Amino acid sequence: MTSAQIEIQLIASLVAIACALPGTFLVLRKMAMISDAISHSILPGIVLGFFITQDLNSPLLIVLAALTGVVTVMLVEFIQRTKLVKEDTAIGLVFPALFSIGVIMIAKNANDVHLDIDAVLLGELAFAPFDRLVAGGTDLGPKSLWVIGSILLISVSLLLLFFKELKLSTFDKGLAATLGFSPVILHYGLKTVSSVTIVGAFDAVGAVLVVALIIAPAASAYLLTDDLRKMLILSCCFGVFAAISGYWMANLLDASIAGSMSTMLGLLFLLVYLFAPNRGVISVLVRQRRQQLEVALLVFLLHLQNHEEPEERHVKHLQEHINWQKVQSERVLNLATNNNLIKITNGVIDLTGKGRQFTAEALNYITINKETAIEDLKEQFFLFRG
């Protein structure tokens, strides 16, 4: 690895962590789309700053862009407060308009400006090591490393200082307010930190991919854990993993680094989405299927309990009267027999003692608690689950 390669991976990882921290809270607070709005609408601020300074890494640019981000947030909230349109419509109206202004500003001055619109969308991480911060003749490393490093430092210290308050106001706004923490200050603080982070990361990964780095790690982590601390750590890990593996994939394909970073994030999310224990699609579908079968079993047992006459308790009756499919009735019968809840003699089904006890207790539980979650009972009686 050359030193440039190491520097690129370091910048990418820092950007990923800096994005993942506010991203976690944005996802939890259902404000994820505001990151999309900010990342697009800071364009006019960046273009204006670039016209003035002619330097993509100047601090003025970052200040102007961050200001545009705050203006965006204020505009969106102003429109939301008029209640003329729904919340998401307000977001969808503001950012394309500001982005259009930025695009027109670039296009009108295309001849004398070295600001490429593709660079705005994609960023150019590969060139980051060439723009170096030099102080008093000594080389202090790439400028963007310093920019994103200081942003990360600020957001980490804010996070450590206000972790308790942030946690509380994220999960229980009302309680936070009654305890005297102003949810409004935290709300705007989070938005300001997000917009500064987006501005800092913008230069490295571009407008749209900032959104990927903010939302995807947090969303993947949210499917894996219920603990805020673990979620923060997991999303940072996911971000760093995507940054480094994305860099090497880009190297291999000779393609955009930012593009392959978000592709890696996409793959990661796809894996989590499908296979996450408890919350992944596959385990959700399996659980639903099992619950369906077990509810059917319970209905069937109650039916048996209520009927003494042999013709109501005949195996064939399941298909005729309860109107189940053949496969379904076989599965229910198998489950019941395996658990020793019923026995079948000459095609007539009888509840066993255990079956009677289970049915009675389940019925009792449901009528008293008005709930259908009888997981404890099932654990107690079932040898096999559906």
Partner 1 sequence: MQLSDFFTDYTLRTITLGTAILGAICGMLGSFAVLRKQSLLGDAISHAALPGIALAFIITGVKDRNLILIGALISGLVGAFWIKGIVKHTRLKSDTALGLILSLFFGFGMLLLTFIQKMPNANQAGLDKYLFGQAATLVEQDVWVMAVVTGVSLFVLLLFWKELKLLLFDADYTKTLGFNTQFLDILITSFIVIAIVLGLQTVGVVLMSAMLLAPAAAARQWTNNLAKMVALASMFGALSGVVGTGISASQSNLSTGPVIVLVAASFVMFSFVFAPNRGLLARAIRFRRNRKDLNLKKTLTFMHHIVRNHENISHPHSIRILNNFHGFTLKTLSVLEQRQFIRIEGDQWSMTEEGFTEATSIYDQLGQTDD
Interaction of residue 104 with partner 1, rule CB under 8 A: yes
Q: Identify the residue among 6, 85, 185, 295 touching partner 1 (CB under 8 A).
A: 85
User: The tokens of 203 are what?
Assistant: 């230069």
Query: Minimum CB separation from partner 1 for residue 96, in Å?
Result: 3
Q: Identify which of residues 78 and 140 has a Cβ nearer to partner 1 in the complex.
A: 78
Query: Minimum CB separation from partner 1 for residue 357, in Å?
Result: 36
| CA proximity to 261, closest of 57, 16, 91 | 16
Binding residues for partner 1, rule CB under 8 A, total 63
User: The tokens of 318 are what?
Assistant: 């399941």
Interaction of residue 158 with partner 1, rule CB under 8 A: no
Q: Identify the residue among 112, 139, 254, 376 touching partner 1 (CB under 8 A).
A: 254
Position 283: which residue type? Answer: S
Interaction of residue 202 with partner 1, rule CB under 8 A: no
Per the CB < 8 A criterion, the answer to whether 203 and 196 are in contact is no
Tell me how far apart the alpha carbons of residues 15 and 36 are, in angstroms, rounded to a whole number: 16
Report the sign of the C-alpha dihedral through residues 352, 353, 354, 357, in that order.
positive
Interaction of residue 100 with partner 1, rule CB under 8 A: yes
Q: Identify which of residues 89 and 292 has a Cβ nearer to partner 1 in the complex.
A: 89
R_g (Cα) of the chain, nearest Å = 29
Query: Minimum CB separation from partner 1 for residue 65, in Å?
Result: 17
User: The tokens of 86 are what?
Assistant: 């729904």
Query: Minimum CB separation from partner 1 for residue 315, in Å?
Result: 34
Q: Identify the residue among 134, 140, 185, 284 touching partner 1 (CB under 8 A).
A: 284
Burial class (CB in 10 A: 0-12, 13-18, 19+), 126: middle
Interaction of residue 114 with partner 1, rule CB under 8 A: no
Per the CB < 8 A criterion, the answer to whether 338 and 328 are in contact is no
351, containing H or E segment: strand 348-351
Neighbours of 113 (CB within 10 A): 15
Per DSSP, 314 falls in state B
Query: Minimum CB separation from partner 1 for residue 124, in Å?
Result: 11
| CA proximity to 217, closest of 83, 55, 22 | 22
In terms of phi and psi (left: phi > 0; alpha: psi -120 to 50; beta: otherwise), the region of 304 is alpha
User: The tokens of 349 are what?
Assistant: 């089904």
Q: Identify the residue among 20, 125, 190, 258 touching partner 1 (CB under 8 A).
A: 258
Query: Minimum CB separation from partner 1 for residue 364, in Å?
Result: 32
Contact region with partner 1 (CB under 8 A), list: 57-65, 68-76, 105-113, 308-316: 105-113
Query: Minimum CB separation from partner 1 for residue 139, in Å?
Result: 30
Per the CB < 8 A criterion, the answer to whether 212 and 262 are in contact is yes
Interaction of residue 287 with partner 1, rule CB under 8 A: no
Query: Minimum CB separation from partner 1 for residue 256, in Å?
Result: 4
Contact region with partner 1 (CB under 8 A), list: 83-91, 157-165, 191-199, 313-321: 83-91
Interaction of residue 285 with partner 1, rule CB under 8 A: yes
Q: Identify which of residues 55 and 116 has a Cβ nearer to partner 1 in the complex.
A: 116
Site for partner 1 in 289-318 (CB under 8 A): none
Site for partner 1 in 210-239 (CB under 8 A): 211-212, 214-216, 218-219, 222-223
- Bridge partners (DSSP) of residue 142 are 132
Q: Identify the residue among 209, 243, 297, 342 touching partner 1 (CB under 8 A).
A: 209
What totals of helices (H) and strands (E) does the chain contain, helices first? 18, 4
Report the sign of the C-alpha dihedral through residues 4, 6, 9, 11, in that order.
negative
Tell me how far apart the alpha carbons of residues 210 and 200 are, in angstroms, rounded to a whole number: 10
The residues of the shown chain that bind partner 1, judged by CB under 8 A, are 27, 30-33, 35-36, 40, 79, 82, 84-86, 88-89, 91-93, 96-97, 99-101, 103-104, 107-108, 110, 117-118, 121-122, 208-209, 211-212, 214-216, 218-219, 222-223, 250, 253-256, 258-263, 265-266, 269, 273, 279-281, 284-285
